[in-house]
């Protein structure tokens, strides 16, 4: 049950090729800023996936539709931090979250790319999907304008906790922006569950990359 028709886009080659001795550093340009991302080959969460490129590009191009300035933004499964850095450059109060083993690289990338910018200082926090949500992010204190998630759905066993986490943070007035590469039947099953719970719109599709970008909001009772 979707509303509207998605725009078809192509992920632009926003990274800058360089002669580098480090195979693990990627250079990107978004919102007029060069962003250097250190990847790590040990963890899934430490590589830049296409969903992060798609949503970064979309937020850069649609600042009137989704104005992040001074908004509270939570990224779940932030990985290397590229999207959180872009949201920060766009003026948001960003909280980037991921699993404990990813946080060191995530913190490094975020601090390195935002330290000299005159904007809200981003926060990096541990978030294991579905665990300790009330303790770590009590509803009385934490309300987010935007929840960002990219390529959080792939072959893993944490899809139910992921959905629980999305539902927990999506309050009335919150916009969930989720970009994902769709490869497996489990991806589409998860999409169906999201559509059953939230008001869902496909904002954009990137056919070459098999990426869909969705907007979801809480249904009004």
User: Is residue 24 in some structural domain?
Assistant: no
User: Is residue 29 in some structural domain?
Assistant: no
User: Is residue 30 in some structural domain?
Assistant: no
Could you tell me the residue range of the domain that residue 178 belongs to?
A: 44-218
- Residue 118 CB partners (closer than 8 Å, separation 6+): none
Predicted confidence (pLDDT) per residue in 24-52, tens digit: 678 899 999 999 998 876 665 567 889 99
pLDDT tops 50 at residue 94: yes
Estimate to the nearest angstrom the gap between the alpha carbon of 25 and the chain centroid. Answer: 20
Question: Which of 35 and 17 is assigned the larger pLDDT?
Answer: 35
Q: Are 208 and 176 in contact (CB under 8 A)?
A: no
pTM to 2 decimal places: 0.90
What is the domain-level CATH number for residue 52?
A: 3.40.50.150
- Residue 170 CB partners (closer than 8 Å, separation 6+): 147, 176, 198, 216, 217, 218
pLDDT > 70: percent of the chain: 89
pLDDT tops 80 at residue 21: no
User: Is residue 7 in some structural domain?
Assistant: no
- What confidence category does residue 20 fall into, taking pLDDT thresholds of 50, 70 and 90? very low
Give the pLDDT confidence score for residue 42 in this predicted structure: 63
As a whole number of angstroms, the distance between CA 160 and CA 199 comes to 19
User: How many secondary structure helices (H) and strands (E) does the chain include?
Assistant: 6, 10
């Amino acid at each position: 049950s979707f509303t509207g028709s998605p725009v078809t886009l192509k992920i632009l080659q926003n990274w800058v090729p360089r002669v580098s001795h480090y195979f693990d550093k990627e250079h990107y340009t978004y919102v007029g800023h060069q962003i250097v991302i250190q990847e790590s080959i040990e963890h899934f969460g430490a590589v830049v996936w296409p969903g992060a490129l798609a949503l970064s590009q979309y937020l850069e191009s649609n600042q009137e539709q989704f104005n992040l300035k001074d908004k509270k933004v939570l990224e779940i499964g932030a990985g290397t931090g590229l999207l959180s850095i872009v949201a920060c450059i766009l003026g948001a109060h960003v909280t980037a979250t991921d699993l404990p083993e990813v946080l060191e690289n995530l913190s490094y990338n975020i601090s390195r790319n935002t330290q000299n910018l005159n904007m809200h200082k981003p926060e990096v926090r541990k978030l294991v999907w579905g665990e300790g949500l009330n303790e770590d992010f009590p509803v009385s204190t934490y309300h987010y304008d935007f929840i960002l998630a990219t390529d959080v759905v792939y072959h893993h066993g944490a899809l139910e906790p992921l959905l629980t986490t999305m539902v927990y943070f999506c309050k009335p007035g919150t916009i969930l922006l989720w970009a994902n590469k769709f490869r497996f039947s489990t991806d589409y099953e998860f999409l169906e569950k999201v559509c059953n719970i939230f008001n869902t719109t496909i904002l954009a599709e990137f056919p070459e990359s098999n990426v869909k970008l969705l907007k979801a909001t809480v249904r009004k009772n």
